[in-house]
């Protein structure tokens, strides 16, 4: 178990395909929010919430492909299809099975 929330700033790898990959891990959300457009909040070990930093507005989480910070596999959007998805939640099936 983790005792503090971890943050994973995202870098855009492919604009057309909406592919994103995490850069590093930190517990300093304020710094991440200032410096990066989007980031993942790891609120429970292995579960990630998509957040907007300096981009201000959330992207369409359903269109984004995000790599797992641990193993690099594609994260699965577990909020896809829900109504008013203000913040998309992701989980890595490879790490959590
Ligand atoms: Zn993983």
Alpha carbons 89 and 97: distance in angstroms, whole number? 17
What pLDDT is stored for residue 32 in this prediction?
96
What pLDDT is stored for residue 60 in this prediction?
67
Read out DSSP for 8-68?
EEEEEEETTTTEEEE---BS-HHHHHHH-SEEEEEEETTEEEEEESTT-SPP-GGG-EEB-
Cα angle, residue 25 at apex, residues 33 and 6 outer, rounded to 5° = 75
Mean pLDDT of the 60-74 span: 87
**Confidence label for 83 from pLDDT (cuts 50, 70 and 90):** low
The per-residue pLDDT for range 1-56, each reduced to its tens digit, is 556 899 999 999 887 778 999 999 999 999 999 999 999 999 888 899 999 898 87
* Residues, beta carbon < 5 Å, ion ligand 1: 68, 70-71, 92, 94-95
Cβ atoms of 53 and 35 closer than 8 Å: yes
- What is the whole-number distance in angstroms between the Cα of residue 81 and the centre of ligand 1? 22
What pLDDT is stored for residue 97 in this prediction?
76
- What is the whole-number distance in angstroms between the Cα of residue 28 and the centre of ligand 1? 22
- What is the whole-number distance in angstroms between the Cα of residue 84 and the centre of ligand 1? 26
What pLDDT is stored for residue 57 in this prediction?
77
């Amino acid at each position: 178990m983790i005792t503090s929330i971890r943050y994973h700033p995202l870098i855009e790898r492919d604009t057309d395909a909406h592919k994103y990959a995490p850069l590093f891990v930190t517990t300093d959300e304020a710094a991440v929010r200032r410096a990066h457009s989007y980031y993942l909040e790891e609120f429970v070990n292995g579960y990630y919430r998509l957040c907007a930093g300096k981009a201000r507005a959330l992207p369409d989480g359903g269109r984004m492909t995000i790599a797992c910070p641990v193993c690099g596999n594609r994260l699965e959007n577990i909020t896809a299809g829900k109504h008013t998805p203000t913040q998309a939640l992701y989980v890595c099936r490879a790490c959590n099975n």
